[in-house]
Chains A and B, each alone.
Chain A
Amino acid sequence: MLTAAIWPSLDYSRVPYRLYHDPEAYQREQEGVFRGPTWNFLGLEAEIPNPGDFRTTYVGDTPVIVNRDANGTIHALVNRCAHRGAMVRREMSGNASEHTCIYHQWCYGLDGRLHSIPFRRGIRGKGGLDPGFDMAAHGLRKLQVGSVNGALFGTLADDVEPLEDYLGPPVLAQLRRLFERPVTILGYNRQRIRANWKLYAENTRDNYHASLLHEFLVTFGLDRSTQVGGVKMDARHRHNITWAEAESDTAELAQEAYGAAQVRSNYLSLKEPELVRFRRERADALNIAITSVFPSAVFVQISNSLAVRQIRPRGVDEVEIFQTMLGYADDPPDLTLHRLRQANLVGPAGLVSMEDGEAIEIAHRGSKPDCEDTTVIELGGAGVISDRDYRVTDVPLRGFWSYYAELLGIEPAGAVR
């Protein structure tokens, strides 16, 4: 039984490996985190532009349909027939006027209401359902849905703070920045990593690893820890923005900080340096903005590549990273091409992201045998959880665990938040 006693410290600078491996933790996360008072990324309005358009997705393990009804209203429905629990929609995406379960053809409207049941009255007065059967009580379960400029979030909880309050001003500002204009979908990519989902959630909040693990960043001059940057969180420290500004350091500073052996000064030595060239698109100078929204969404700008990642737990030992690559609907063709080229940087084959798959797999494998041992999370100091205006830090990981502990009901008395 997981209890608050699991934590060796009150600042989450030590996390027991057990939390990545224990099936009980996984089950309690499904209840406390994914079906708890959180807002989960569902997809984009741009993916279902027309009445009847639907996509299927997940909130934790729960299968979900997101669709637009004839009036243009967006609904999110648990993809599970009220009759026998079968998934009603089997396709990834499509257009439909209703959702019919193939098993016994129970038929639901796009708002989730149960429309019809075959042989409801039986045949020649025999069989069928009792006359008192309540159709209205047997629809598809509805999620509350919220949107930030077309980025859709849903929650399975009845009692939850409004989406904008949940995100908080810094994250809200980042999402409004990313979705300031209508987006277009450039494509999808998927990756199955043999590691617990929380190792990936931590990875996206870990500024410390970026230029060490992803050597491409430094070797080819895309990003260095010496650039002006840092981490910024919401008031509850459950979300995080990892940010950096382009051209905000000097080669001399980088040499001094990394040591001559580490910076190989191959800047712009690529045959096609456009791959790493940042085209400034806005008044701000941000060329790295990675916004992690608790529990399972990551909004990514790396140079001019734009994406949303959905972290989909697939059991305690596996996670799917489902990434949607974005551009803007009004991008000129040369900018679309630039984004498609810079998509080489991210995803399962990404020049600055492929390493994450390996790093969290070895962390998962290495930690499994000794579940009572712990990680060390102290870069940027232990104790208080707060924003940092420097990059060699992993403080936001402690914010993640703090909120996680609260949701699982294992927050120790006197713990930092």
Chain B
Amino acid sequence: MTVGVAGGSASDRHALYDLFAAYGALIDAADFDAWLALFAATCTYHIMPQENYQQGLPAALVYCDSRGMLEDRIRALREANKYNIHTDRHLIGLPRLIGADGDAKLVEVPFAVCQTDQEGETRLFATGLYRDRVVVEAGGLKFRDKLVLLDTFAVPSLLATPL
């Protein structure tokens, strides 16, 4: 069986691996400025429960339909929100190119996020699927639209740091 792949040269693929590796590592390091720099100048970011997505319901847990809203989220996280003290660990699977939309590549990537509390106890926090539109901008790959489809839609405790 051959697996159809849209526009996937080896170098394209390596660039995507680098993008997703950086994406997870920067959240886990709480380096949100560098993380925001992985998004295009015009971008969206949504965390959507599978429960809603499968029923075609539009409400999301995090709904940022502009870069400004995403930046406001990060600012609120730093300046106002209080949450469980923890570190994140993103375990990101292999990107799967599923097609193209104009100049954007459509990419699906499974992920898991574990959270570790201050006493060293780790729990599985979430699994899900990134469904992204990735573009080349300023010489690098950037996320234009990031949709985080959340399998674990019974959110354990609360959701503060990005997925």
Contact = CB atoms under 8 A, between A and B. Distances in A.
B58 A187 contact: yes
Contacts of B79: 215, 219, 264, 266
B60 A220 contact: no
B137 interface: no
Interface stretch (A248-256, A350-358, A401-409): A350-358
B59 A325 contact: yes
Q: Main SS of chain A's interface residues?
A: mixed
B33 interface: no
Given A188-B49, A192-B155, A349 B62 contact: yes
B158 to A, nearest CB: 4
A186 B57 contact: yes
A361 B64 CA distance: 28
Contacts, number: 125
Interface string A173-192: 00000000000011111111
B66 interface: yes
A354 B160 contact: yes
B69 A271 contact: yes
Interface in A195-232: 213, 215-216, 219-220
Interface residues of B, number: 36
Contacts of B157: 191-194, 348, 357-358, 361
Interface in B53-96: 55, 57-66, 68-69, 71-73, 75-76, 79-84
Contacts of B65: 337, 341
Contacts of B69: 271-272, 275, 341, 344
A344 B160 CA distance: 11
Contacts of A336: 58
Contacts of B52: 187-188
Given A272-B66, A272-B69, A354 B159 contact: yes
A341 B156 CA distance: 23
A271 B157 CA distance: 28
Contacts of B49: 187-190
B12 to A, nearest CB: 33
A45 interface: no
A271 B63 contact: no
A188 B59 contact: yes
A358 B156 CA distance: 11
Interface string B130-163: 0000000000000000000000011111111000
A340 interface: yes
Contacts of A215: 79-82
Nearest to A348: B155
Given A191-B155, A270-B72, A354-B81, A186 B61 contact: no
A139 interface: no
A355 B153 CA distance: 18
Contacts of B72: 270-272, 275
A320 interface: yes
A358 B158 contact: yes
A308 interface: no
Contact of A271 (B47, B57, B58, B71): B71
Contact of B158 (A191, A220, A343): A191
Nearest to A362: B84
Given A191-B158, A341-B65, 7 more contacts: A186-B57, A188-B49, A193-B157, A216-B80, A272-B69, A344-B69, A361-B157
7 contacts: A187-B49, A187-B57, A191-B157, A215-B82, A349-B155, A357-B83, A358-B83
Interface of A: 92, 185-194, 213, 215-216, 219-220, 264, 266, 270-272, 275, 320, 325, 336-337, 340-341, 343-344, 347-349, 351, 354-358, 361
Interface of B: 47, 49, 51-52, 55, 57-66, 68-69, 71-73, 75-76, 79-84, 153-160
